[in-house]
Amino acid sequence: MNKRVHVYYSGSVQGVGFRFTTERVASKLGLKGWVRNIEDGRVELVCEGEESAVDALLAKISEVFAGYIREASVERSDPGGEFEDFEVRS
């Protein structure tokens, strides 16, 4: 079953390779969507794909960036199907 997540990560999440690590892992898992830095210091992630792959991405992010993430606000929904791949946005 496909799922979509929209996540805001706060903490020391910019300038630590967060976006490019997320892109690499998401692409390997076959997920589609994007990740970007926000001016307020948070990172925003929107991705969709197989629910198990989405969960694997979130778990990997939590594992790799455990010392940097203070909070993650996660919203789950049905996929929109508008993405062709996974990208880093500016």
Contacts of range 14-21, beta carbons closer than 8 Å, 24 or more positions apart: 14/41, 14/43, 16/65, 16/68, 18/43, 18/61, 18/65, 18/68, 19/43, 19/88, 20/88, 21/61, 21/64, 21/65
Q: Are β-strands 32-37 and 2-11 bridged in parallel, bridged antiparallel, or unpaired?
A: unpaired
Does residue 70 carry a catalytic annotation? no
Does residue 19 carry a catalytic annotation? yes
Of 2, 24, 36, 37, the catalytic one is 37
Of 19, 36, 42, 70, the catalytic one is 19
Catalytic residues: 19, 37
